């Protein structure tokens, strides 16, 4: 499958396109007990909690891929104005949404 162009800007340089519409991808993930225990220790002594950093990086990647899949289903060539939104659910889960505008080259 060809990689889809995803831009955080409104314009793709030297490319004309028409807007198809909004697309999004979402994922919700949780940590396991061992990671939560390690995070609790880190919160006492300070420092980066790499288990959570890794979870967020993975969540963003999954959300982008799902957004691109949705754009492909709508016949898009690219996604512009891509943004992320995230939030916690019940204290131990993290939800990440990637959203943007699907466009078709003309």
Domains and CATH numbers, the chain: 5-105 (3.30.110.70)
Tokens encoding 85:
């939104």
Q: What is the pLDDT of residue 77?
A: 98
Rounded CA-CA distance 101/77 in Å is: 11
- Please state the φ and ψ torsions of residue 92, each to the nearest 5 degrees: -125, 5
Q: What is the pLDDT of residue 90?
A: 76
pLDDT along the chain (106 residues), means of 10: 91 97 95 56 72 89 98 98 90 89 98
Q: What is the pTM of this model?
A: 0.82
Contact 65, 97 (CB under 8 A): no
């Amino acid at each position: 499958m060809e990689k889809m162009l995803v831009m955080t800007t409104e314009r793709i340089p030297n490319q004309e396109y028409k807007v198809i519409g909004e697309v999004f991808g979402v994922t919700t993930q949780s940590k396991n007990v061992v990671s939560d225990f390690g995070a609790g220790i880190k919160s006492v002594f300070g420092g980066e909690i790499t288990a959570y950093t890794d979870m967020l990086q993975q969540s963003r990647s999954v959300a982008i891929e799902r957004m691109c899949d949705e754009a492909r289903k709508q016949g898009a060539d690219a996604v512009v104005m891509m943004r992320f939104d995230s939030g916690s659910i019940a204290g131990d889960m993290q939800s990440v949404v990637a959203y943007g505008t699907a466009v078709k080259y003309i």
